[in-house]
Amino acid sequence: MKATIDDVKVQGKRVLVRVDFNVPMKDGKIVDDRRIRAALPTLRALRERGARVIVVTHLGRPKGKVNPDFSTAPLAAHLSELLGAPVQMLPGLVGPEVEAAVNHLANGDVAMLENIRFDPGEEANDEAFVVKLAALADLYVNDAFGTAHRAHASTEGIAHHLSAVAGYLMAKELEALGGVLENPRRPLVAILGGAKISTKIGVVENLLRRVDTLWIGGAMACTFYRALGKEVGTSLVEEEWVETASKLLEGAGKGRGEIKLPIDVVIAPEAKAGAPTTTVVWTEIPADQMVVDVGNETCARIAEDCRNAGTVVWNGPLGIYEIEEFARGTRRVAEALGASSATSVVGGGDLAAALDQAGVVDKISHVSTGGGATLEFLEGIELPGVAALQEKVAL
């Protein structure tokens, strides 16, 4: 178990907090502030305990160059509103001017660095940059689970130069996702959606060793249909993964979890808003149509498994969620999960939006803030940003 901010003294200390405020922006405005709000408990606790808080985040992909379009200034302004306290925008990332500003912070003050990815040393985990970054603080807190799978300067490198502990959000993510893998209430049901099996093959294999039932939806299911010898029209299929899908189907149920595929699917001539849709059984997909969502009967069967489950973990939408007509299956399953008494752990992104739209986000045990980090954790991969943190000392 990792040490947290509850295990260290922060009074009067300069505390560098890595957060994941990589939020969607439009015309300089924040579209969804979920990730910012998720870090508030950690930041508020540090302020209340007299820490001098230095917030670090990335935004977008500036590729190691200063780009005003990716400035963290709007994030600092919004964080100030949420905290009800000023958040000072620091004049850059590292160096004498930034160090001077940090050293003038009073206990309980909060400041924010510019976009950490403005410096190429961040993603390169460059030791010289790490040393300069570490010079700003006395203690490091990682509350950015969404970037914990990256061995960057502000997520992994700095933890080797300062005492490094987890924030509340990081600890919550590790507890929820770890519980799914190590000590779940049974039956354990997993639902995996998305387009490509190639990006989730490790997750599928790891979960099959642990779950009772594994539902596979989204376009990913079409590769499994092909493995069963059926045609899928113009649907996306990763031909090079058909043999792998076949082996997974053969091994399922033999001391491993059972794989379930959608029994009915929504089809359309193209992945376009307004396209006419039809629901067919999975064995009867026409040559000129593509799978865009799961059908009602499939939703009903997933809902039944959710009702009877002790734990449900879900990652990835079950249809082309960006298009309203193809998002209904995902929302129906979200409603079913919200009505279930099972411990529920859901990946963020599109699924978080689906839970919001279904009005059930407050009924889910844990909605992860991670994308790639969540997948790698479920795959059983040790995340660099987590591995670098101190272990809790047993009393």
Q: Is the dihedral of CA 182, 183, 187, 191 positive or negative?
A: negative
Which helix (H) or strand (E) segment holds residue 328: the answer is helix 328-339
N- to C-terminal Cα separation, the chain: 13
Using CA atoms, how far apart are residues 60 and 122, in angstroms rounded to an integer?
Answer: 14
DSSP string, 111-175: EE-S-GGGSHHHHHT-HHHHHHHHTT-SEEEE--GGGTTS--TTTTGGGGTSEEEE-HHHHHHHH
pLDDT digit of tens for each residue in the chain (395 aa)? 999 999 999 999 999 999 999 999 998 899 989 999 999 999 999 999 999 999 999 999 999 999 999 999 999 999 999 999 999 999 999 999 999 999 999 999 999 999 999 999 999 999 999 999 999 999 999 999 999 999 999 999 999 999 999 999 999 999 999 999 998 999 999 999 988 889 899 999 999 999 999 999 999 999 999 999 999 999 999 999 999 999 999 887 777 789 999 999 999 999 999 999 999 999 999 999 999 999 999 999 999 999 999 999 999 999 998 899 999 999 999 999 999 999 999 987 778 888 888 889 999 999 999 888 998 999 999 999 999 999 987 65
Residue type, 265: V
Q: Which domains does the chain have, with CATH numbers?
A: 5-173 (3.40.50.1260), 184-378 (3.40.50.1260)
Q: 355, 330 in Cβ contact below 8 A?
A: no
Using CA atoms, how far apart are residues 345 and 190, in angstroms rounded to an integer?
Answer: 10
Q: Catalytic residues, which ones?
A: 35, 196, 349, 372
- Please give the model's pTM, rounded to 2 decimal places: 0.91
Q: 188, 180 in Cβ contact below 8 A?
A: yes
Dihedral through CA 374, CA 376, CA 380, CA 381, nearest 10? -130
Using CA atoms, how far apart are residues 363 and 57, in angstroms rounded to an integer?
Answer: 29
Using CA atoms, how far apart are residues 198 and 55, in angstroms rounded to an integer?
Answer: 35
Using CA atoms, how far apart are residues 26 and 341, in angstroms rounded to an integer?
Answer: 37
pLDDT value at position 206? 92
Dihedral through CA 57, CA 181, CA 366, CA 260, nearest 10? 120
pLDDT value at position 278? 97
Using CA atoms, how far apart are residues 257 and 58, in angstroms rounded to an integer?
Answer: 38
DSSP-based three-state secondary structure for 315 = strand
CA 257 to chain centre: 24
Query: Is 26 buried (19+), middle (13-18) or exposed (0-12) by CB count in 10 A?
Result: exposed
Nearest to 150, CA basis, from 168, 120, 125: 125
Using CA atoms, how far apart are residues 195 and 145, in angstroms rounded to an integer?
Answer: 24
In the block, which residue shows the tokens 């997933």? 302
pLDDT value at position 100? 96
Give the count of beta carbons closer than 10 Å to the beta carbon of residue 285: 21
